[in-house]
């Protein structure tokens, strides 16, 4: 299925790839309305890109990913912060607690996104940024939580609202907060274009509860049966290439080699 809006196919790259608000686009001119059909227009006009970036606190641009991402500090993980103290857990070796992620400027950026996630304009601003990052990258995909995890059912509800507002885009959200997802699913359903993957807590382990949703695991040597193994580390530099398994609801199990 082609999720790329036809109205965006001729769009130039209208902004750079900023990592901090200081690098965010400062162009406040009105969008070129003739480039869009009415359905998309209603979703992305109103806020300038710079203003949307300010409201959200910015996006991440992980080098491995084909798209931008939104994340918060790994230290804010409710379940993950406990698992980080457990021997053999995935979170004990969390990539978002080391390397580049430890730089003060990066930590400040992730904290800013968490602090601004309760803004009443957050959904509107995220819808605009998701569309514009798609126009730039040329890939109709978006990743949630390159760092951090769900903080509440309300946060999941807002993310669902962003997915509903960007139906042409495929969204992927990995999480270990299965109880929040379970509480959400008691009365609501996930948008068809949002893949929530319940992640295993332990290396070579399985998620405690999958809730009937797609899952992800981490393995040392042998992936679990019937898993699609991530091949990103077979490339140099490490990247997803043309693989989009994590965003594909039909791929029920994805397993990542331990690194």
Convert the pLDDT of each residue in 69-125 to its tens digit: 999 999 999 999 999 999 999 998 787 666 667 778 889 999 999 999 999 999 999
CA angle, 158 then 244 then 146, to 5°: 45
pTM assigned to the model: 0.83
Give the list of residues 6+ apart from residue 188 with CB closer than 8 angstroms, or none: 157, 160
Judge whether residue 54 has pLDDT over 60.
Answer: yes
Burial label for 30, CB within 10 Å (0-12, 13-18, 19+), is exposed
Residue 171: in which H helix or E strand, if any? strand 170-175
Per-residue pLDDT band at 66 (split at 50, 70, 90): very high
Are 199 and 175 within 8 A, CB to CB?
Answer: yes
Q: What whole-number distance in Å separates Cα of residue 68 and Cα of residue 140?
A: 10
Q: What whole-number distance in Å separates Cα of residue 102 and Cα of residue 104?
A: 6
pLDDT at position 47: 82
Are 100 and 42 within 8 A, CB to CB?
Answer: no
The full set of domain ranges for the chain reads 6-203
Judge whether residue 173 has pLDDT over 80.
Answer: yes
Return phi, psi of residue 143, to 5°.
-110, 130
For the segment 223-234, what is each residue's pLDDT rounded down to a tens digit?
A: 999 999 999 999
DSSP 20: S
Per-residue pLDDT band at 38 (split at 50, 70, 90): low
Give the other-Cβ count within 10 Å of 217's Cβ: 23
Section 147-155 average pLDDT: 97
pLDDT at position 102: 74
Peptide bond into 82 cis (omega under 30): no
Q: What whole-number distance in Å separates Cα of residue 99 and Cα of residue 259?
A: 13
Are 222 and 255 within 8 A, CB to CB?
Answer: no
Q: In what order do the strands lie in the sheet with 215-219?
A: 69-70, 141-144, 170-175, 194-199, 215-219, 253-257, 228-229
pLDDT at position 94: 83
Judge whether residue 24 has pLDDT over 50.
Answer: no
Judge whether residue 167 has pLDDT over 70.
Answer: yes
């Amino acid at each position: 299925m082609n999720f790329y809006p036809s109205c965006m196919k001729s769009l130039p790259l209208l902004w750079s790839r900023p990592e901090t608000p200081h690098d965010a686009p400062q162009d406040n001119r009105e969008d070129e309305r003739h480039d869009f059909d009415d359905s998309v227009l209603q979703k992305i006009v109103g806020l300038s890109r710079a203003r949307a970036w300010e409201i959200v606190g910015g996006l991440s641009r992980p080098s491995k990913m084909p798209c931008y991402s939104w994340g918060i500090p790994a230290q804010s993980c409710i379940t993950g912060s406990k698992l980080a103290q457990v021997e053999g857990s995935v979170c004990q070796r969390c990539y978002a607690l080391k390397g580049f992620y430890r730089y003060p400027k990066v930590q400040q950026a992730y904290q800013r996104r968490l602090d601004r996630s309760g803004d009443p304009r957050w959904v509107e601003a995220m819808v605009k940024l998701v569309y514009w990052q798609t126009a730039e990258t040329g890939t109709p995909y978006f990743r949630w939580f390159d760092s951090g995890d769900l903080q509440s059912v309300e946060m999941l509800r807002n993310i669902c609202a962003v997915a509903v507002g960007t139906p042409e885009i495929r969204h992927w959200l990995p999480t270990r907060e299965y109880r929040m997802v379970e509480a959400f699913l008691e009365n609501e359903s996930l948008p068809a274009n949002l893949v929530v993957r319940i992640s295993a807590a332990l290396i070579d382990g399985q998620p405690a509860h999958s809730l009937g949703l797609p899952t992800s695991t981490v393995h040392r040597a042998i992936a679990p049966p019937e898993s699609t193994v991530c091949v990103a580390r077979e490339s140099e530099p490490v990247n997803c290439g043309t693989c989009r398994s994590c965003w594909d609801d039909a791929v029920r199990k994805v397993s990542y080699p331990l690194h």
